[in-house]
Amino acid sequence: MKSLGSIRRDFAPWNDPNAKPYIQFDNVTKKFGDFTAVNNLSLTIFEREFFALLGASGCGKSTLLRMLAGFEEPTSGRILLDGQDLRGIPPYRRPVNMMFQSYALFPHMTVEKNIAFGLKQEGMSAPDIEKRVAEMLRLVKLEQFAKRKPHQLSGGQRQRVALARSVAKRPKVLLLDEPLGALDKKLREETQFELMDLQQNLGLTFVVVTHDQEEAMTMADRIAIIDKGEVMQVATPAEVYEAPTSRFVAHFVGNVNMFEGKVAERTAKTTRIAGASGAQIVVDNAVDTAPGADIVFAIRPEKIKISSKKPVDAVNALEGEVYDIAYLGDMTVYHVRLDDGQMVRASTMNAARITEDPLSWNDRAWVSFRPDAGVVLTR
């Protein structure tokens, strides 16, 4: 497969067999009574990585973070940081800091006092505190707000104060639980980039918990997709999107079409899949699957072409009727009901202002795609 690697091109320690993991969850299980919140989970995070734990509500991602911070201990298994077993080490003695969803700023203190608070408690000298606070204010671009109190700030500004306060003590690892949850969409997007800059400039390791796939995709070097306390896949955003290893992951991240069927025939290079209704498609061989086995071809909407005439030379072309059209400005999403009843989602970028092949509701239409435009999944 071609590289679906890190956006930071030169940063991919997970591909380096000699790289030492920084954080290790080693067969970690966490039970609350009879309920298993985290189930025999293992994963590794590298120094300076921006790592996201992504999953639906209740999947156990916050529990993972809380165990790393030391607010919970694993029922079994180990968590190592820089080779050291963290069991029994209280939160304040771990080189990690946690930023909570509710930022919990002190309302009666100014921005600079909020940032200075932890440093003072640590016994840092006054001139050093002053220097560090100024540096933090610069970092989060709040210099002119130093004397304000939290209620005189916007949500996004409060967010940045909380961030500055969490990184002021220079923890090696910053844990962020839904850090942008309280921000509106536009501010969220801006802050995502600020967070990435901050992490890179300070050279910190970030572990962020989110249920927002777009947020994880934007910010993280790698994403762990968690379901019911188990890791479903750990990969770069591009791999998770282009090469999901299960239906669960394919569905969880982005939109996807699933062509279900049985293996009808295999050659050295391709597999022919027969759907229940008789429609057949040909895909590149990806897995070792015997004829007759159940299989699914997962393909993203933007990899499907839609046209009013049957495309010449297309290996896979299926006919149907336009059921629904959503014009979204930058792109248009078509729902096509194939003649066998399956609904297919195809999206096209509106790169030009006028479409050459306009399609309307109830028009006959063809959807076509290349054999390598999706992935074959068996689980």
Residues that bind ligand ATP (CB under 6 A): 32, 35, 37, 55, 57-63, 211
Minimal distance, residue 218 CB to ligand ATP, in Å: 18
Report the residue number, 86 or 142, with the smaller CB distance to ligand ATP.
Answer: 86
Closest chain position to ligand ATP (CB): 62
Q: Which residue has the tokens 């970028």?
A: 349
Minimal distance, residue 31 CB to ligand ATP, in Å: 9
As a whole number of angstroms, the distance between CA 223 and CA 61 comes to 12
Minimal distance, residue 104 CB to ligand ATP, in Å: 17
Minimal distance, residue 214 CB to ligand ATP, in Å: 16
Backbone angles phi, psi at 261, to 5 degrees: 180, -165
Minimal distance, residue 162 CB to ligand ATP, in Å: 18
Minimal distance, residue 57 CB to ligand ATP, in Å: 3
Report the residue number, 35 or 327, with the smaller CB distance to ligand ATP.
Answer: 35
Q: Give the H or E element holding residue 249.
A: helix 247-252
Contact (Cβ atoms closer than 8 angstroms) between residue 240 and residue 253: yes
Report the residue number, 58 or 291, with the smaller CB distance to ligand ATP.
Answer: 58
Q: What is the CA radius of gyration of the chain?
A: 25
| Residue 353 DSSP label | S
Report the residue number, 63 or 166, with the smaller CB distance to ligand ATP.
Answer: 63
Report the residue number, 91 or 371, with the smaller CB distance to ligand ATP.
Answer: 91
Report the residue number, 58 or 341, with the smaller CB distance to ligand ATP.
Answer: 58
Contact (Cβ atoms closer than 8 angstroms) between residue 183 and residue 155: yes
Report the residue number, 172 or 228, with the smaller CB distance to ligand ATP.
Answer: 228
Contact (Cβ atoms closer than 8 angstroms) between residue 63 and residue 74: no
Q: Give Cα 42 to chain centroid, integer Å.
A: 18
Backbone angles phi, psi at 9, to 5 degrees: -55, -40
Contacts 24+ apart (CB under 8 A), 66-72: 67/28, 67/30, 67/38, 68/23, 68/96, 68/173, 68/175, 68/207, 69/94, 69/96, 69/98, 69/175, 70/94, 70/96, 71/98, 72/30
Report the residue number, 41 or 81, with the smaller CB distance to ligand ATP.
Answer: 41
Minimal distance, residue 124 CB to ligand ATP, in Å: 33
Q: Which residue has the tokens 């086995």?
A: 293
Minimal distance, residue 230 CB to ligand ATP, in Å: 12
Question: If you write DSSP's letter for every residue of 158-195 in order, what string do you get?
Answer: HHHHHHHHHHHT--SEEEEESTTTTS-HHHHHHHHHHH
